[in-house]
């Protein structure tokens, strides 16, 4: 399963939309605080619609708590290096989405269980985290004059590339308009 990790998201609508995408695809959403919004925010709730009931959203007070609960890792004062030590020791593919990456998202061969980090809407992932994990940092192609894509759109692109590689396993891949169900 793909695990989406939002490091200190700032915009409630984006996080709500990501909740909805994760719920619709079966991805797990991990949110590392602090966030730039309240979890009671009406825009967060509205963007997530009624998908909150079928979503798997896990919240963490900080990066250290995330590493402990997901990689059984504690220790190290340099959290950027601790992330690499944690996923390396656990043997779990961990990737980082950034406009500074040199690998294209569709060139990645996703492992069945993996974690993908996304940064703040205004600044992305910290440079120090990217530097410590650059070999696992990828980008989504875009025009040279564009600074970045919307966070929710970026997450959706990555989730669906992951799902495509696994042939959309456990997802409904067909549909018909209601009026066609009676043979009309």
CA distance linking residue 156 with residue 142, whole number of Å: 15
Q: What local confidence, expressed as pLDDT, does residue 178 receive?
A: 77
Residue 183 has pLDDT above 80, yes or no: no
Is 158 or 80 the better-scoring residue by pLDDT? 158
Q: What local confidence, expressed as pLDDT, does residue 44 receive?
A: 64
CA distance linking residue 184 with residue 180, whole number of Å: 5
Residue 117 has pLDDT above 80, yes or no: yes
Q: Which SS3 state, helix, strand or coil, does residue 2 take?
A: strand
Average of per-residue pLDDT across 119-138? 96
Is 46 or 105 the better-scoring residue by pLDDT? 105
List residues bridging with 169 in a β-sheet.
none
Q: What local confidence, expressed as pLDDT, does residue 43 receive?
A: 61
Length of the chain: 184
Q: In CATH, what number is assigned to the domain containing residue 53?
A: 3.40.1280.10
45: tokens are 């709730």
Domain range for 11? 2-182
Per residue in 30-74, pLDDT (tens digit) is: 999 999 888 775 766 665 557 777 899 999 999 999 999 999 998
What integer best gives the mean pLDDT of the chain?
Answer: 91
String of DSSP letters for 25-64: HT-EEEEESPPSS-TT-HHHHHHHGGGGGG--EEEESSHH
What radius of gyration, in Å, describes the C-alpha atoms of the chain? 17
Per residue in 76-100, pLDDT (tens digit) is: 678 888 999 999 999 999 999 999 9
Count Cβ atoms below 10 Å from residue 135 Cβ, excluding itself. Answer: 10
Task: Give CA angle at 66 (74, 6), nearest 5°.
Answer: 145
Q: Which SS3 state, helix, strand or coil, does residue 121 take?
A: coil
What is the number of structural domains in the chain?
1
Count Cβ atoms below 10 Å from residue 141 Cβ, excluding itself. Answer: 8
Per residue in 3-22, pLDDT (tens digit) is: 999 999 999 889 999 999 99
Q: What local confidence, expressed as pLDDT, does residue 41 receive?
A: 58
- Nearest residue to 5 via CA among 50, 71, 58: 58
Helix (H), strand (E) at residue 6:
strand 2-7
Q: What local confidence, expressed as pLDDT, does residue 112 receive?
A: 96
Is the pTM for the entire model greater than 0.85?
A: yes
Residue 143 has pLDDT above 80, yes or no: yes
Residue with tokens 């269980």: 113
Q: In sequence order, which ranges of 91-140 are alpha helices (DSSP H)?
A: 127-132
């Amino acid at each position: 399963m793909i695990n989406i990790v939002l490091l200190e998201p700032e915009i409630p609508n984006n996080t709500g939309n990501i909740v909805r995408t994760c719920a619709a695809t079966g991805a797990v959403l991990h949110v590392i605080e602090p966030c730039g919004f309240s979890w009671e925010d009406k825009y967060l709730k509205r963007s997530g619609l009624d998908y909150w009931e079928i979503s798997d959203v896990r919240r963490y007070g900080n990066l250290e708590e995330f590493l402990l609960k997901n990689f059984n890792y504690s220790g190290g004062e340099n959290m950027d290096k601790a992330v690499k030590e944690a996923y390396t020791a656990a043997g779990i593919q961990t990737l980082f989405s950034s406009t500074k990456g040199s690998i294209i998202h569709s060139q990645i061969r996703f492992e069945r269980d993996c974690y993908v980090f996304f940064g703040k809407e205004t600044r992305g992932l910290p440079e120090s985290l990217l530097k410590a994990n650059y070999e696992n940092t990828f980008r989504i192609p875009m025009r040279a004059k564009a600074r970045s894509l919307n966070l929710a759109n970026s997450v959706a692109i990555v989730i669906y590339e992951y799902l495509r590689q696994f042939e959309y396993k456990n997802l409904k891949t067909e549909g018909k308009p209601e009026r066609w169900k009676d043979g009309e």
